[in-house]
Amino acid sequence: MIWIILITGIIVLFFVFFELWYRTRENAVTEFVPVKRSKWEIITEDREVKYVCEIPIINFSNFYEATVVDVKSSLRLLYKAKRPDDLNADVDIIPLHKEVREDGYWPAYILTPKTTLNVKISINLKGNLSRINEIHAGIIRLDYQIYSRYRLKNQFTEIILVTDTHKPEQPEPIEENDFTIFPIKTHLLSDIDDVADVVENYTKEFRQKGDIVAIAESVAAITQRRYRHPLEVKPGWWASRLCLLIPNAGSLSSRYGMQCAIDEVGLGRMLLAVKLGALFKLVGKKGWLYIIAGKQSELIDDITGTMPPYDKYIVLGPYMAEQMVKKIKEKSGVEAAIVDVNNLKRVFILAGTEGVDKNKLTRCLVNNPTGNAAEQTPFVLIRYKDNK
């Protein structure tokens, strides 16, 4: 009897230690990394224009191989007005390795540990090319399968293509008693843009010493690719329940928005924020959930919170905001701030250079001159009249 108990115990211990060993094995991802893609190159041929870039698939594992089984691409174009019938578009995706096939078939390709496969994406526009500027944006979706010793995993990523980067006609300045606001209309910004370069390009012809640029926080985040498609978010047990405690108007009222907040600030802090926030609300004090959870939880914009094509994504708050405004000042010479402004006369300044008077800037922005809809004015330039 003792021997049976001993042998059973040894077997149980073996399986326990084997399971612990298994759970500590590396499970690194293999995926497309859009943030590392090249800039779009425009190639003009006979009756055809191509937008071409390269994007890597990276195996982040230190030990294990992964196979890129298949990649399929699709393209959706957004137009500024009615879709033209005489302009056609398609997309090609080509692996940049020796096994490229002319028929477009994707051969399964093994990525050894810590290696990269570069893939060329080509958006092909044919027909009446004079109407290309009527395209507002393109959304390229890449659906792909990764096969590894853990599982066959279906994944996807999306990339934004902006075809029209010409300077649009600028809105009229907004005159106030002691300051002037210049809403700056830009091309549709994407994660291929650098905010400092955009400010430099759109203000160089009229900016003056003492001017301040105030950039919308959601736009700053978009240029950092700080946005997630809901299908990329995996809501956990807590997110699916905590979201029910948030009013409908809040971005954390969906399990996807709540999971993004938990990913940003941590589950422990979010649980504490929900608990104390509820207690403060009982005594008439609102907003403490976000104060305790931290600013990143409040900066999240759920889907529909930004203009197309980003209205289908959950946009997070920007990171390294202080470094961003510092870079803007170094590039253009103007003072800079990243701000969160809404139509409820609420202004929050995330970061500002030393020359920014936050009280004065708040007073200038309280009427939300950048707007919250499709104005496409991601930042404003403010000029105090006593600086002339």
Query: What is the per-residue pLDDT across 99-138, written as a single tens digit (0 to 9) for each?
Result: 777 777 888 999 999 999 999 999 999 988 888 888 889 9
User: What was the pLDDT predicted at 150?
Assistant: 84
Is 331 found in the same domain as 201?
A: yes
Nearest to 360 by CA among 347, 369, 377: 347
Q: Please tell me the distance from the alpha carbon of residue 107 to that of residue 205, in angstroms, as a whole number.
A: 51
At 370, the pLDDT band (50, 70, 90 cuts) reads low
Q: Is residue 358 part of a domain?
A: yes
Is 104 found in the same domain as 50?
A: yes
Q: Is residue 88 part of a domain?
A: yes
Alpha helices in 133-266, H assignment, sequence order = 195-203, 217-223, 237-242, 255-265
How many domains does the chain divide into? 3
Residues spanned by the domain of 277: 227-311
pTM of the model: 0.87
At 166, the pLDDT band (50, 70, 90 cuts) reads confident
Kindly report, residue by residue over 194-240, the tens digit of the pLDDT: 999 999 999 988 888 889 999 999 999 999 999 999 999 999 999 99
Output Rg (C-alpha) for the chain, integer angstroms: 25
Average pLDDT over residues 69-83: 90
For residues 233 and 156, the answer to whether their CB atoms sit within 8 Å is: no
- Give whole-number Cα distances, 261 to 66, 158, 217, 277, 348, in Å: 31, 22, 16, 15, 19
- What is the CATH number for 365? 3.30.1330.100
Q: Which of 260, 279, 311 is the last residue of a domain?
A: 311
Encoding tokens for residue 106?
């994707």
Is 349 found in the same domain as 287?
A: no
At 149, the pLDDT band (50, 70, 90 cuts) reads confident
